[in-house]
Structure 1
């Protein structure tokens, strides 16, 4: 099998065989891709609680980071909410490094060798994504997958923003949404009696007494070592493993590869609770006074294996009024519209998102409302009207808060359920404010101005007080990659843009 972490030279060599027409474009994109990954890495070095960092101090030329062994890192002043390819070099004891992998190798920190390989792959893969992306259509796309395929750079703050270990260049071109392919999902037949199923499994994905489980072709080739008797054509969305069937549902497939931080299989736990969560989410949306829709989970099934499972969801486009010219846009794609460049538009969007998120949190549900899960319904003129949320697997539900509001508590258990205030606020604030809103604003000043308007007239709840007065939580993404023995999320605190 091909190398799990191909370097820039590996990608160039494969391109020479499979897509020689992209060689020159790829070479031209390499410096920008290195800077994009280095920018994300420098953000982590400037703000995350990495155990080998002793202190940080701003100076006239930027920021100096002192390591516990006495060495000094120096780079530009860090705006933790900024996006783009801003950092082109970081100095370690006066020696400049323009490649993130070489910088981590020189740091020689615990678990750094593996992380350096991931960074090298992320930069190489990002250059490939930028080289192979299709042209941005004039006007606004007419389909859900076209919106999703506009997102080329991946996670706005994760150094592994485009790491796809285990994928060859040919597979990235064949499956990456930025390359706009049509992917043929294998339909693997499994006896219904051998499956755990919730919701309704459609007749079109049945064959007598067997369920036809959609399987990603990468999964079929590398993990299951089998294909299906039939295939289903679908367009990949920004998560790569979730695809849109033309005229049909969105299909979330198991993909046992590490993308950014996580292996994307589908657990029996999430299958078992999917129908309960979907019904619960619909009841919450009905309480939102029109601010928020939740995409329904239509059906979910697993052959009692995280490697062979699928979830069918309705398209978020179902929540747009086509007759009025409305469209549903993933928050991650908003930057491609030019709309966030207007301070008034950004303030309106932030008010909508913060109002809906805090209201739901007060009632007892914390959304994982990052730019992939959160979508906004826009009017024909581009005004933000309401929100759509998808993928309920990572929300957090507080029974105590639900009871306080007289809301029936769903029959849930496991990691979804918690009454811990810190966990609930981290979930929402880290994904929505430090994630979706920050990356849409693109800088701390723009985020500050939008949030000031957004919170001005909100009821002063304890959650709002925490948002106003405390530092802003966000996942310590680099610390997590450098802590392979530590399970679960790790966190850091960013300067509150409202201070």
Structure 2
């Protein structure tokens, strides 16, 4: 089946390039915002028509998985909404619906749309990576499908962040700093950092993300002035930003480096927070142990250690993450699960001769290790689309799952079992499997992807899985309402979504 272009195209072939980008950016940025509004607030009243309960207005959209063409009923007629109009409508609705105002989130929505426009322009001029793995990591122009401003970049001008954007096919060297030895704080195995360059006597090597260094420059000036920090130049090779933006990959060393980034991206400021770093070894070892016994069909990309400066513990922290050596099955190619949903050139979904068989292989690969980690080891993997890599064989069939990000792992009994299970269901089923299932159903009319999910879940004799198959609802995270009401980004709140697993 021919690949569907996931970025909306303008109606006419003779549209000016600027108009083309503006129209595509509007349409692309509207998708996740509409998904949030329809999931969390609006009430369906007819085919494609929804009532907004706060204002009482009627909203009409086309499509379900990626809603488009929003229109509002005004004066007896349907009036089309561009992205700016949609933001105003959402802001008015949420002010009435929640009884609270919020001036920050509408600005982030506008910033997200403008970022999409900058990314579309940059992608048209840039060369994508040759390898499928990096291509999948750098494909997420739309981003989180249920966040109101997934591409907001802190309101900074595009020139400040575009050189480091994975969606713009960026690759760049990182800055190498010398950190005076008496100021070094580290834990775990950080030896890989010392292979990235040469530090002078009395100093240790500390790589720094150039964007983060720009953001934190004023606070670091005293350390440069008194010699606690020295600049050593940059790496002699480029690193590739992955979907996580602040996590970079160096193919030369088969190594990932995760940095702090003092920018709000989706719900959180993306720092490596002290409390997460201090619990890193425990969560990483638990996740690695949970997956080690599963065999070659699953693996963990370990966060083996971190290094930072005593006087800038969070700002300059860098985390060392395992690469793929020794973790991939022979001949397998890792792909980001979120990239499979977004689409990229060479995706195995575009050449799947039997999509039902491909989906069954995918489920056999991804579901068992996540459930086993929970049931047998009390480890709640953050198995959502951006933390799951699925390796495929030469025919494009999934054969292996690799999970990552100890920062997002939860352990029982640190969290209650019911809360841990709810989080796993949201990450694995709602955020992950539901998105792929909806894509397959959209691209292959007549294919019902949910019986295969039910069969796979039924193979696991857990009281939670048995209850899940008959539960009336699944937990859907309320990203729009969380951000509007100013809740902490880690304070997940859920609303009930219809459970497609209860079908025949």
TM-score (structure 1 length as normaliser): 0.81
- Give the secondary-structure state (helix, strand or coil) at the position aligned to 2:469: helix
Shift of 1:92: 5.7
Q: Distance in 1 between matches of 2:103 and 2:73?
A: 17
Q: Which residue of 2 aligns with 1:459?
A: 460
Q: Which residue of 1 aligns with 2:209?
A: 216
Tell me whether 1:43 sits opposite 2:35 in the alignment.
yes
Structure 1 residues 24, 253: closer, same or farther in 2, change over 3 A? Answer: farther
Moved more, 431-440 or 362-371: 431-440
Structure 2 equivalent of residue 355 of structure 1:
368
1:15-74 per-residue CA deviation (whole Å, 9 max, x = no partner) reads: xxxxxxxx96453122232223323222222222x5xx7xx243145322322xx52232
Q: CA deviation at 1:458?
A: 1.0
1:8 maps to none
Distance in 2 (alpha carbons) for counterparts of 1:486 and 1:143: 36
Tell whether 2:490 aligns with 1:490.
no
1:481 aligns with 2:491: no
1:13-32 matches, within 5 Å, as 25-32=17-24
What SS class does the counterpart of residue 154 from structure 1 fall into? coil
Tell me if the contact between 1:352 and 1:386 (Cα under 8 Å) persists in the aligned partners.
yes
Residues 451/355 of structure 1: CA separation in 2 closer, same or farther (3 Å cut): farther
1:229 pairs, out of 225, 232, 239, with 232
Return the offset for 1:134. 5.2
Q: 1:36 to 1:422 in 2, by over 3 A?
A: farther
1:204 counterpart residue number: 195
- Cross-structure match for 1:119: 109
What is the alpha-carbon root mean square deviation over aligned residues?
2.9
In structure 2, distance between residues paired with 1:130 and 1:277: 38
2:153 to 134, 151, 164: 164
Shift of 1:257: 0.5
Query: Are residue 391 (structure 1) and residue 405 (structure 2) matched?
Result: yes
CA distance in 2, matches of 1:47, 1:393: 28
Would the alpha carbon gap of residues 174 and 354 (structure 1) be closer, same or farther in structure 2, given more than 3 Å must change? same
Distance (Å, rounded) in 2 between the aligned partners of 1:136 and 1:253: 25
Change (3 A) 1:449 1:168: same
Instruction: Verify the 8 A CA contact 1:62 1:77 in the aligned structure 2.
Output: no
Q: What's 1:339 paired with? A: 349
Aligned pair in 2 of structure 1 residues 462, 91: CA closer, same or farther (>3 Å)? same
Shift of 1:317: 6.0
Call closer, same or farther: CA 1:76–1:422 in 2, change over 3 Å: farther
Q: Distance in 1 between matches of 2:181 and 2:285?
A: 23
User: Does 1:102 find its partner at 2:107?
Assistant: no
Note if contact 1:362-1:463 (Cα within 8 Å) is conserved in structure 2: no
Corresponding residue for 1:87?
A: 68
Query: Would you say how many aligned residue pairs link Structure 1 and Structure 2?
Result: 445
User: In the superposition, relative to structure 1, how do residues 460 and 135 fare at CA in structure 2: closer, same or farther (>3 Å)?
Assistant: farther
Shift in CA distance, 146/71, structure 1 to aligned 2, threshold 3 Å: closer
The 1:25–1:302 alpha-carbon spacing in structure 2 relative to 1, beyond 3 Å, is: farther
Flag structure 2 segments of 5+ consecutive residues without an equivalent. Answer: 1-14, 221-229
User: 2:60 maps to which residue?
Assistant: 75
Asked if structure 1 preserves the Cα contact closer than 8 Å seen for 2:49 and 2:58, the reply is no
Alpha-carbon separation, structure 2, partners of 1:137 and 1:348: 32
CA contact (8 A) 2:383 2:432 kept: yes
Specify which of 146, 159, 175 is matched with residue 186 of structure 1.
Answer: 175
Report whether the alignment pairs 1:300 with 2:277: no
1:338 to 1:327, Cα distance in 2 relative to 1, 3 A: closer
Partner residue in 2 for 1:373:
387
* Deviation digits for residues 435-471 of structure 1 (CA, Å, limit 9, x no counterpart): 1222223359569933421331513312212432221
Query: Quick one: structure 1 residues 390 and 432, their matched pair in 2 at CA, closer, same or farther if it must change by over 3 Å?
Result: same
Please give the alpha-carbon distance, in whole angstroms, between the structure 2 residues aligned to 1:258 and 1:373: 19
Matched, 1:312 2:320: yes
2:296 and 2:400 in contact (8 A); partners too: yes
TM-score normalised by L of structure 2:
0.80
Change (3 A) 1:62 1:395: same
Distance 2:94 2:433 in 1: 35
Query: Residues of 2 paired with 1:247 and 1:134: CA distance?
Result: 27
Match of 1:425 among 421, 424, 427: 421
Query: What runs of 5+ residues in structure 1 fail to find an aligned partner?
Result: 1-22, 400-416
Q: 2:123 aligns with which of 111, 129, 133?
A: 133
- For 1:356 and 1:126, how far apart are their aligned partners in 2? 35
CA distance change for structure 1 residues 234 and 445 in 2, over 3 Å: closer, same or farther?
closer
CA distance in 1, matches of 2:394, 2:240: 25
Question: Do structure 1's residue 442 and structure 2's residue 427 form an aligned pair?
Answer: no
- Alignment check: 8 A CA contact 1:351 1:453 kept: no
Q: CA deviation at 1:485?
A: 4.8
**Is residue 298–residue 401 contact of structure 2 (8 Å, CA) maintained in 1?**
yes
The residue number in structure 2 matching 1:283 is 289
SS at match of 1:29: helix
